[in-house]
Structure 1
């Protein structure tokens, strides 16, 4: 029902001139620019962008190729179609995650759970924000989940390809190549890398100027991303930037922290079953990425599915319910939107505001600390 509503809203929004999906408008404009031969990175915004969405195109040029279908319809309709696809894929991701669980309560039927949670978990800020902005986070998550949990389980000769495609749209999914290697899926890891490289090569042949401009300049230009010290950047780099008044050496602090965190993560991924190993990899990537906007944290959905699977069939205690309730509250509370933020006020936060303003990061960090404590 919700996917149909999204398409209808998109059509009505087009007829009435509504401002729907700022990020989706930029994606579509990138596709239109590609078709018209307009450079993607020479200016801070593209000529086809509506006046209410004047933002730089920050994704790799390969992403513009995949966004071409959005150029077929008007901006608002494109938002409605992408929103509908995202919600359908969200339901499918939940179903796949339930089926991948080695054990689960009897009431956790894959299809019924997928439909129910697909509606309920729309209330999570990363999910509804992804849909409202017209982002592709859920689509990319679905590509990775299908690759790791479906194609991997079947031993498909196409394993790794979808991870490579996701990385070609947005570079951060490259972290899942590490997961494939740690799980000794050598052929899948190779296919992921080859897919990514081949797509880059094709784009170089198609639009060499944009390829050179992106890899030589745009990928390193923070001005194209925006103020990454903003509270919405829930990565360790964002936290360090807020603590150091936007110091340009923040990643030199994050890098050794990432190496320390990588040690237990590698050990866990090697020992864990596919779904928890996937979650460890995803949250590690979110923590160490230079930018992890709050809507990137859609991986909270499969995390909640996993936590629900740990509950008993009947009468769970408060202690058993506490982890699931805590995660839902963090991601549904919209606490980051309620914080003092914007115009560099993050530099004046109190200690309490820094703690609350790091709520998303605390979820995997606290979970990791609990796992380490239980091991000891």
Structure 2
């Protein structure tokens, strides 16, 4: 009976065969993208990409990268020197060309990651992959973290691209696995936990590759700007005041959470205890995911944990929650238990609505009371719930090895 229910649901979920149905899907895509393109540009003033641009221009004219501050603010460049080396081409063109390059690279990187995650789901369920990719892309584009990534001109999706290159390489058994993670960590330290993921899942060669790549990139930074490299690794790295206020509502990390809800004397000790518990849960679940061949879940868990344990996790950093959201949705669609299916899909829809809504910003200036506790910390609370609750070994990666998946017949296109 359960199998019949699932088969019926599968039939309902197939993409439209008729021309009017396909036109309706394309119209939805156009409307969502139109809203995205109309609302987003300039809302955050391209703040971060402007800092990247002016920093590398200053460096190319004899300045030091950590001396530049955006006029009227106390904010400047906060990434390792290797990041400035990678961003140096922006300084060779005009501002509008640099902005176009940043946006194009962000779109391409996000599209690649989405395709790698969505295509296996579409193939297994018999969907037309391009309809699936288009619709999920629209749902992805309107998420608050994605909107902020574009409007700030942030590099989050480019870092995800580098990390998920290694996701693909790991599943293919490529000897180049680890290079993308090493480069991403050298550009911005947030993805460093993915190196630990390789280590705790006993991928020794890949771990050494990632560490070697990271070390090589750090050395490039030292060669390019030795004094600024020493300053970063001995001073700037440890000075969180250069990044922003820890209790500010946009910081949806464990440290931001404890800073908002606890007295100052208690926030750091409690943060350390929570961080240790989160890392223990992550390591246990990651090893389990790797043991059954579910690298997608392992990477999704690591992305969530990066956001939780990093001292600063701005809302735009939460693009790392997307893989976990897709894992949750795929497990719901694949479940043969009708009640479980409904629970998982309802959870997916609820988290998506929450991430679209930008709910946390209602407590931008005051985060006290029950509303501030739950609403103002809603993103970090969702990440905490997903860490132990996200399904493993279900959906598109049910413990199959890459060889087994390659041998599996592709579903018929519709």
Q: Which stretch shows the higher mean deviation, 250-259 or 196-205?
A: 250-259
* Contact persistence 1:235–1:289 (CA under 8 A): yes
In the alignment, what sits opposite 2:302? 281
What is the root-mean-square deviation of aligned Cα atoms in Å?
A: 3.0
In the alignment, what sits opposite 1:338? 362
1:270 matched to 2:287? The reply is yes
1:174 matched to 2:198? The reply is no
Q: Distance in 2 between matches of 1:52 and 1:120?
A: 36
1:76 matched to 2:101? The reply is no
- Compute the TM-score of the two structures, normalised by the length of structure 1: 0.84
Show the 5 A alignment for 1:222-371.
222-244=240-262, 247=264, 250-272=267-289, 273-312=294-333, 318-341=342-365, 345-346=366-367, 349-370=368-389
In the alignment, what sits opposite 2:51? 26
* Contact persistence 1:105–1:311 (CA under 8 A): no
In the alignment, what sits opposite 2:133? 114
Show the 5 A alignment for 1:83-232.
83-99=103-119, 104-107=124-127, 109-148=128-167, 150-232=168-250
Q: Distance in 2 between matches of 1:93 and 1:210?
A: 33
Q: Secondary structure at the residue paired with 1:291?
A: coil
In structure 2, the gaps of 5 or more residues are 1-28, 392-414
Question: Which is higher, the Rg of structure 1 or of structure 2?
Answer: 2
Q: Secondary structure at the residue paired with 1:141?
A: helix
* Contact persistence 1:279–1:303 (CA under 8 A): yes
Deviations 1:121-173 (A, max 9, x none): 1110000110010000111011111112x111222221101101100110121
Deviations 1:226-270 (A, max 9, x none): 21210100001001111245x377444322221122222212111
* Contact persistence 1:162–1:192 (CA under 8 A): yes
